[in-house]
Amino acid sequence: MSTAATFFGQQVLNRVSFLRCSKEFIKKSLNHDSTIFIPFIEGEALISPENGNLVQLSKSKKSFKSILSTIIPLYTTLLNTTRSRSDESGINLTFLGLLENTDSTFDFEWSDISYKGTPYFGLDIRVTESTLFKKADFEPIFSYPKMTRDHIFKQTNEDASLYSQGRMYLDWLAKYKFCPGCGSTLFPVDAGTKLQCSNENKNVYCNVRDASVNNVCFPRTDPTVIVAVTNSDYSKCCLARSKKRHGDFVLYSTIAGFMEPSETIEEACIREIWEETGISCKNIDIVRSQPWPYPCSLMIGCLGVVEFNSENEVINLNHDDELLDAQWFDTTEIIQALDNYTGGFRVPFKNDINLPGSTTIAFQLISHVCKNYRSLRKASSSHL
């Protein structure tokens, strides 16, 4: 399997995560003339009506310069305080990283090493009448339409990956407002990549604030397994149709589900396959992964090989009421559909059935089955 970046998973920026704790670095990067901000409104990014691209703000654009030159310096004074919380300020902000090898003059010295590049931040606007910043402060940003899934899958992988990183952090910042240890308000530190308990009363024990190691709250990522189910010679592939609608078309895809506590990736795949389809599969290989920003999953792509014996491969949808249908399809038919695929978010298959498009890890896993089938046939024919 190729190690090429999956959609949403391209590392466009050097995250320089060790610099997030430096208030001097964050101050300098926030206020540099080359810095780029990816704006979100209530958790969703924006698109340009002119070209459909992800909106990115910088001081080089005249219409945004006044906004960034007034709001960002003021927000900088709130860093690492409770006043920076979106409930008070109207903003959630997170540092994404440095885009290296640009003509930006930004540089920062750390341990005798100079770090250079264009700083990138995600900026989520959540203004109300009671917040420090108001809607009027962000005109004309509110005139842009919000990103939809139809829009995001038309972006370049670079922009989609920036979107994914920003959206996951900003979604987490918006949802986690109170300390799980004592109920006090949380506030962002390290440029919005950690949350800290605001409780300063040492007479009240807080197992978050007072723990020797876990004294801050870190972003949440939900591990999810997604598995292409095939047989030992890759001539069959089991695909399923969910009861959840995916637009106005019929979609068959791979099996997927959230991992549970104290469960290995392999055991999660085995459980999900059996619960959803009734198929008994014991042979699991990890293939590749994909971040999925709806809202904060990491899709762990696997291949499940079923030993056909007239029992293991029998489909039974009665365990879990999640699927509308599941079928074993001939890999040769899938190969024909993929060979005829010209791009887009779905692959026309047969009988009005569609398969996931190339921006999904499901597509990559189905393609993996097809490649294995072709490789096995090629090897067999060479020995004849």
**pLDDT (tens digit per residue) in 301-343:** 999 999 999 999 999 999 998 999 999 999 999 999 999 999 9
Among residues 194, 220, 353, 359, the alpha carbon closest in space to that of 298 is found at 220
pLDDT over 90 at 170, yes or no: yes
Determine the pLDDT at residue 127. Answer: 97
Specify the 3-state DSSP secondary structure of 151: helix
Determine the pLDDT at residue 4. Answer: 67
Q: Find out whether 193 and 169 touch, Cβ atoms under 8 Å.
A: yes
Mean of pLDDT values over 263-273: 98
Helices (H), 50-135: 62-76, 86-89
The owner of tokens 């014991």 is 282
Domains of the chain, start order:
17-175 (no CATH), 222-377 (3.90.79.10)
Determine the pLDDT at residue 213. Answer: 73
Task: Say how many residues make up the chain.
Answer: 384
Q: Find out whether 91 and 126 touch, Cβ atoms under 8 Å.
A: yes
Determine the pLDDT at residue 335. Answer: 98
Write the pLDDT tens digit of every residue in 199-249.
999 898 898 888 877 668 889 999 999 999 999 999 999 999 999 876 788
How much of the chain, in percent, has pLDDT values that exceed 90? 87
Residues 6+ apart with CB under 8 A from 41: 124, 125, 141, 142, 146
Determine the pLDDT at residue 210. Answer: 87
Lowest mean pLDDT among 177-181, 365-369, 378-382: 378-382
Determine the pLDDT at residue 383. Answer: 64
C-alpha 160/C-alpha 224 separation (Å) is: 20
Among residues 228, 235, 186, the alpha carbon closest in space to that of 88 is found at 186
Determine the pLDDT at residue 3. Answer: 56
Residues 6+ apart with CB under 8 A from 127: 90, 91, 133, 134, 135, 137, 138
Q: How far is CA 198 from each of CA 23, 120, 146, 208, 312, rounded to the nearest angstrom?
A: 18, 27, 33, 11, 54
How much of the chain, in percent, has pLDDT values that exceed 70? 97
Task: Kindly report whether the global pTM for this prediction surpasses the value 0.75.
Answer: yes
Q: How big is the chain by its Cα radius of gyration, in Å? A: 24
CA angle 341-332-307, nearest 5°? 125
Q: Which two tokens stand for residue 95?
A: 């540092």
Q: How far is CA 319 from the centre of its chain?
A: 30
Q: Which two tokens stand for residue 174?
A: 């918006």
Write the pLDDT tens digit of every residue in 36-76.
999 999 999 999 999 999 999 999 888 899 899 999 999 99
72 membership: H or E segment, kind and range:
helix 62-76
pLDDT over 70 at 1, yes or no: no
Q: Which two tokens stand for residue 66?
A: 């006044």
